[in-house]
Amino acid sequence: MPFTRRSFCKDISIAGTALALAPSCQLALANTRTLPTRRVPGSDVELPVVGLGNSNAFREGDVSASADLIELMHTHGGSYVDCIGDSRFIVAEAAKSLGIAQDLFLGSYFSNDDESANRADADRLLNMTGKKQLDVMQSFPEFAIPNWSQFERWKAEGLTQFIGLARHRSEFYDSMMDLMKTGTVDLIQVNYSPLETEADQEILPMAMDRGVAVTINRPFINGEYFNLVRGHEVPEWASEFDCDNWAAFSIKFILSHPAVNCVLTETANPKHATQNLSAGIGRLPDEKTRQRMVSYLRNL
């Protein structure tokens, strides 16, 4: 992106945010500006390990605030933005205004029974981003499964690179796994965190076995996680995996699962977004420590 007054001001803003973070976060951001990536199985696509979910900035149609979040993420090597409904067009408009629309990996949802309407939305996104094909077309399993032939056709036609399923409740895991068994699913998105570990029983292992990329939603259980840990100190032993704040505690737990490609966070607060991004940098807990993390939280 060319040097502009906006980019200069943004660099100052990012620096100020970094200075407001805890020491190890400052160090991580000082040592690297680029998030590590993980490859989507069967492809050359590398996804940065932390991305943005359907932030209030996107949902409320605030292009300026959305651009701030997207630019912040992009500055640190992020690219994945996952959003539904009109939010995807806000993201596309914001990214276009920054000149980075083609750098994004945009997860977009399609659930209109009218296939022509879905295609119209896809064409609109392509026109806004300047891309030749969408990154991933996905939907909730209750729509995607009975309409999966549409998704396969879109992929075969080159309208999209990947097709996938997304849900945030474990009651949908069985139906998602049934479709994964067909070998046609490229990506799934599920809920997973130290307080919601059901996904690591079957669906995450299956994704690994079948070469399906995984993105994670609800890393903070829509804020319930912070309600639990509020007033408690992060344990000293968390420093063993470069963690000194509660957001990183959850994100690093999630990223330490070998099936996971990317964690999606929904904050509209730049300071929190910077902290979330910094959690993708540095060491991760081993299996013994992961169990200790779960136990520690459950005993608060």
Written as tens digits, the pLDDT of the chain (300 aa) is 333 334 433 443 444 444 344 444 444 544 556 899 999 999 999 999 999 999 999 999 999 999 999 999 999 999 999 999 999 999 999 999 999 999 999 999 999 999 999 999 999 999 999 999 999 999 999 999 999 999 999 999 999 999 999 999 999 999 999 999 999 999 999 999 999 999 999 999 999 999 999 999 999 999 999 999 999 999 999 999 999 999 999 999 999 999 999 999 989 899 999 999 999 999 999 999 999 999 999 999
DSSP3 helix / strand / coil % (the chain, rounded to 5): 50, 15, 35
Residue with tokens 């200075």: 19
198-40-69 Cα angle (round to 5): 80
Task: List pLDDT tens digits, range 264-288.
Answer: 998 989 999 999 999 999 999 999 9
d(CA 1, CA 18): 21
Report which of 180, 232, 230, 188 is spatially closest to residue 210, judged by C-alpha positions.
180
Are 35 and 77 within 8 A, CB to CB?
yes
**167-200 per-residue burial string, b: 16 or more CB within 10 A, e: under 16:** bbebebbeebbebbeeeebbbbbbbbbbbbbebe
H or E element in which residue 27 lies: helix 23-31
d(CA 201, CA 222): 22
pLDDT (0 to 100) of residue 10:
45
d(CA 33, CA 18): 11
d(CA 132, CA 24): 40
Domains annotated on the chain, with CATH = 20-298 (3.20.20.100)
pLDDT (0 to 100) of residue 33:
62
pLDDT (0 to 100) of residue 173:
98
**Count of CA atoms in the C-beta half-sphere (13 A) of 10:** 22
d(CA 152, CA 163): 7
d(CA 173, CA 169): 8
Task: List pLDDT tens digits, range 62-117.
Answer: 999 999 999 999 999 999 999 999 999 999 999 999 999 999 999 999 999 999 99
Instruction: Assign 149 to helix, strand or coil.
Output: helix
Residue 279's alpha-carbon distances to 98, 206, 251, in angstroms, are: 25, 26, 6
pLDDT (0 to 100) of residue 234:
97
Instruction: Copy the structure tokens of residue 297.
Output: 């939280």
